[in-house]
Every structure is written in structure tokens, then in C-alpha cells.
Amino acid sequence: MGQKIKNIIFDLGGVLLNIDFKLTSNAFKELGVYHFDEMFTQHFSNPLFELLETGKIDEAAFYEAFRKEAGLPLTNEQIRDAWNALLLDFPAERIEWLEKIARQYRIFLFSNTNQIHYDCFIQHFSDRFNGKNFNDFFEKAYYSQFLGLRKPYPASFQAIVNEQEILPSETLFIDDTLKNIEAASQLGFQTIHLQSPTSVLDLKLI
């Protein structure tokens, strides 16, 4: 690490929320969408998914466009459930750790996500943690579909820097996707590329 860390920006999936892309891939293949892996992975997304993740299209438009792309008469619910299959759980020990971290740093969240996933994991968190709002654990939670920008584009990071008046050199960015880490590093952030089996609980930040 370089100079003293005052702020931490966390990614969501693969950092605080357990996810498994294969589950969504398999769910779509079971529906007959055999080319799903060519459409979306952790490292690449078809323009349709990027439009969804930056809030340029709504859920209804996404479902309609996905049906056309798949060439199958899938229902909205079938697409939604397969799309959300990758979302797993929030381990309680990570949330307890996050509460401790918030006593020492200004903490933020920045996730490339979409309204369909958002509605699912926010509800899941509330159900799991007695009605608590996941977003309340951060000074501010940034989601790509609300920000209108997504990682790894520099403008997405700059929007957070500008709004929060923070210095990248004093800010640690933690993500599980290398291209996002590389983009943040080029902008002067301190970074940690979090790779399984390492978890945030292994980081020496407290």
C-alpha cells in the first residue's frame, strides 16, 4: 500500500456477495439458450447487457430484446429467474466485518449491476438480516444502472471521486475483476484484486 488509506470502495459480487456465473449460464442452457456464454461472462457483456447495466433500457425492454436474441418464446419470469441464478448469499461474517471497517474508513460500494439483480439481492439481504437495508452499510452505494456509467470506464470512477471529494491516492478499491482493478490503478487508486479463495476477511485493514 502507498499513502494512508482514508476511503475504501468495494465491489459487490465476488467481494461481499457470493456469486457464481455458471449457475446463470446453466439456467439459460436449460431453457434452450445454448449460446448464452457467447453473450455474457464476468469479463465480457453483449451490448444488450451493457444497456441494462447503465440504465439505458428498462426491464421490459431487456426481456423483449433477450427473447429476440435467444429466438425463444421465454416468459419474463423465466428470464428473470435464470438471470438471477448467479446471485448467492451474503455471509454474515463479511457484514459484521464491514460494520467494523466503517468505523475506521469512509466506505462506499460501486457495482456493475442492473435493476433485475438489484431488486433480488436487496430483498435477499433484507430477508437474511432482519429487514436491514444493505445500502445503509455504506456512506453511499453506487450502482451502474443509477449512475449511468459502469466499470471499467474512467468516467465512472471519476463521478464518484467528484461527488465525494476524495483523492484516489487515499482511496482503496477492491474488486474481483482484473480489468476494473487496472482501470482504477491507472487513475491513481490503491487497489486489491480479490481472488478466491481469498476473501475480504483475509485483508489486513482493521
Contact 24, 37 (CB under 8 A): no
**Buried-state track 180-194, b at ≥16 Cβ within 10 A, e below 16:** bbebbeebebbbbbb
Q: What is the pLDDT of residue 3?
A: 79
Domain ranges of the chain: 7-18+90-202, 21-84
Predicted pLDDT at 44: 60
pLDDT at 134: 98
Q: Which residues contact 148 (CB under 8 A, 6 or more apart)?
A: 54, 55, 56
| HEC secondary structure over the chain | CCCCCCEEEECCECCCECECHHHHHHHHHHCCCCCHHHHECCCCECHHHHHHHCCCCCHHHHHHHHHHHHCCCCCHHHHHHHHHCCECCCCHHHHHHHHHHCCCCEEEEEECCCHHHHHHHHHHHHHHCCCCCHHHHCCEEEEHHHHCCCCCCHHHHHHHHHHHCCCHHHEEEEECCHHHHHHHHHCCCEEEECCCCCCHHHCCCC
> Residues 14, 193: contact at Cβ < 8 Å?
no
The bridge status of strand 106-111 relative to strand 7-10 is parallel
> What value does the mean pLDDT take over residues 128-143?
98
Which tens digit of pLDDT belongs to each residue from 36-93? 988 776 566 678 999 999 999 999 999 999 999 899 999 999 999 999 999 999 999 9
Q: What is the average pLDDT score of the chain?
A: 95
Looking at 3-7, 27-31, 113-117, 158-162, which range is the least confident one? 3-7
Could you tell me the strand order of the sheet in which 190-193 lies?
140-143, 106-111, 7-10, 171-175, 190-193
Question: Other CB atoms closer than 10 Å to residue 5's CB: what's the count?
Answer: 16
CA–CA separation, 36 vs 24, rounded Å? Answer: 9
Residue 110, pLDDT > 80, answer yes
pLDDT in tens, 1-50: 557 999 999 999 999 999 999 999 999 999 999 989 887 765 666 789 99
Split at pLDDT 50, 70, 90, the class of 201 is very high
Q: For residue 150, what pLDDT band results from cuts at 50, 70 and 90?
A: very high
Domain 21-84: assigned CATH number: 1.10.150.240
Task: Assess if CATH 3.40.980.10 describes domain 7-18+90-202.
Answer: no
pLDDT bucket at 125, cuts 50 / 70 / 90: very high
Please give the pLDDT value at position 187.
97
pTM here is 0.94
